[in-house]
């Protein structure tokens, strides 16, 4: 099984550019999440979704937008990238609740110059 797949794996942007990160899961999970990981700060929740067509803000939502048009996909958008958004981004999913097991993708390394 593929599990949770993130694309792309690496990306370099210039300040002000936009991009979309794609997360796809093939486990029929209801919950999906986007986290960012920064040194010394662990993982911080950006946005999450509890089902198709739903999204909600996490701890650090500013500068990001998300969409969950299909159950298996969760998109993270940066409309105008800033250097502060340089980070490693992880997508995760769980069957129905976050205190069940989360399955993580392998991450996207994003650099904003």
Partner 1 sequence: AQSVTQPDIHITVSEGASLELRCNYSYGATPYLFWYVQSPGQGLQLLLKYFSGDTLVQGIKGFEAEFKRSQSSFNLRKPSVHWSDAAEYFCAVVLISGGYNKLIFGAGTRLAVHP
Binding site for partner 1 (CB under 8 A): 4, 33, 35, 40-45, 48, 50, 56, 58-59, 90, 92, 97-99, 101-102, 104-107
Q: Which helix (H) or strand (E) holds 109?
A: strand 108-112
Give the residue with the Cβ less far from partner 1, 14 or 101.
101
Q: Tokens 């159950």 correspond to what residue?
A: 71
Q: Cβ of residue 17: shortest distance to partner 1, in angstroms?
A: 25
Give the residue with the Cβ less far from partner 1, 17 or 45.
45
Q: Cβ of residue 51: shortest distance to partner 1, in angstroms?
A: 11
Q: Which helix (H) or strand (E) holds 24?
A: strand 19-25
For 79, the 3-state DSSP assignment is coil
HSE at residue 99, side-chain half, CA atoms within 13 A, is 0
Give the residue with the Cβ less far from partner 1, 38 or 79.
38
Using CA atoms, how far apart are residues 74 and 58, in angstroms rounded to an integer? 14
CA angle (105, 110, 113) in 5-degree steps:
175
Q: Cβ of residue 35: shortest distance to partner 1, in angstroms?
A: 8
Give the residue with the Cβ less far from partner 1, 11 or 17.
11
Q: Cβ of residue 84: shortest distance to partner 1, in angstroms?
A: 18
């Amino acid at each position: 099984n593929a599990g949770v797949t993130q694309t792309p794996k690496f990306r370099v942007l210039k300040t002000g550019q936009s991009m979309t990160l794609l997360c796809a899961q093939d486990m029929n999970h209801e919950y999906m999440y986007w986290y960012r990981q920064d040194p010394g700060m662990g993982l911080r929740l950006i946005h999450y979704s509890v089902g198709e067509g739903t999204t909600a803000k996490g701890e650090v939502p500013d500068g990001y937008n998300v969409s969950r048009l299909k159950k298996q996909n969760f998109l993270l958008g940066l409309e105008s990238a800033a250097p502060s958004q340089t980070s490693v981004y992880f997508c995760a999913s769980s069957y129905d609740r976050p205190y069940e097991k989360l399955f993580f993708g392998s991450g996207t390394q994003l650099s904003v110059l």
